[in-house]
Amino acid sequence: MFEPHVNRVFQNRFSTQYRCYSVSMLAGPNDRSDVEKGGKIIMPPSALDQLSRLNITYPMLFKLTNKNSDRMTHCGVLEFVADEGICYLPHWMMQNLLLEEGGLVQVESVNLMVATYSKFQPQSPDFLDITNPKAVLENALRNFACLTTGDVIAINYNEKIYELRVMETKPDKAVSIIECDMNVDFDAPLGYKEPERHMQHPEEPTEEETDPSNYEMDLGFRAFTGSGNRLDGKKKGIEPSPAPLDPSDIKRGIPNYDFKIGRITFIRNSRQQPRKIETDDTASNFIAFSGEGQSLRKKGRKP
């Protein structure tokens, strides 16, 4: 009783073998570099005729298998314009399948679940130079139909090819990314090393014990310290007698030889504030217009 159902499932499944070639081998005057920028293949017209007879779901998704190396991936279809018995694949897809030009590949129609999450690992630290990698990846994935865990996809940005490995996909290892809301995450690029952070410790000044006698005292200009000359030419009694050094003449930075242990002297360059003049108590009790006036003309007494 189960045989009709099994036969119907088998009849609705597309499965055939093709010889695969890279897109550069596609004959025609038109440049088909757009195929290299996505995850879709070009199949012969007979495949479209056979698929239209089957009750398959859309969009058309296929599973590609290399039986010699037991490698598989998933893809969509772009056009049905290839020669009979031949299909054209992007170069990165042939590398994942370990296929050479003219190798046999098994093509089967499949139904995949819609993606909700995917994680990628750039294969070069150069991917970090992109300002907004998520926006670049989102724009590049518009040319893809599905993703398979373990594949290394290639995207083209600013005339440079960036390779990314699909590390994880949810809810399955192979998912469809057509009209889906998918969260994208990135792993650290292959060969990336985080810059080492050196903690800079403030250097504490070391106090070296020095002998004060080794300091050279910079006295600068001092008045009336020169030597004199006598009119008779004698040099007796003309040697200058150095004036005693006042501590206020010592410039800043010259050690104070009058230093005493246990005493700290703070030298400041602030100006001395003028002293307040003490006022008498009578001045504080000053009342305006309370004095007595004097007149130059004496007033006479009236009889």
pLDDT tens-digit profile, the chain (303 residues): 333 433 333 456 889 999 999 888 876 656 677 788 889 999 999 999 999 888 788 889 999 999 888 899 999 999 998 999 999 999 999 999 999 999 999 999 999 999 999 999 999 888 888 889 999 999 999 999 999 999 999 998 888 899 999 999 999 999 999 988 999 999 988 888 777 776 665 555 555 555 555 545 555 666 666 677 777 777 766 566 656 666 665 556 667 777 788 888 776 665 666 666 555 555 567 777 777 777 777 665 555
CATH of segment(s) 15-110: 2.40.40.50
| Element (DSSP H or E) covering residue 65 | strand 61-66
pLDDT of residue 231: 79
Helix/strand/coil (H/E/C) assignment for every residue in 183-201:
EEEECCCCCCCCCCCCCCC
| CATH for 117-186 (3.40.50.720, 3.20.20.70, 3.10.330.10, 3.40.640.10) | 3.10.330.10
Q: What is the pLDDT of residue 193?
A: 79
Distance CA 95, CA 151 (A): 10
**Could you state, in order of their start, the residue ranges of all structural domains in the chain?**
15-110, 117-186
Cα–Cα nearest to 107, from 39, 16, 45, 176 = 16
Euclidean distance between CA atoms 13 and 108, whole angstroms: 7
Q: Which of 30, 62, 28 is nearest to 48 (CA)?
A: 62
Whether 120 and 126 have beta carbons less than 8 Å apart is answered as no
Q: How much is the pLDDT for 285?
A: 74
Q: How confident is the model at residue 229, as a pLDDT?
A: 76
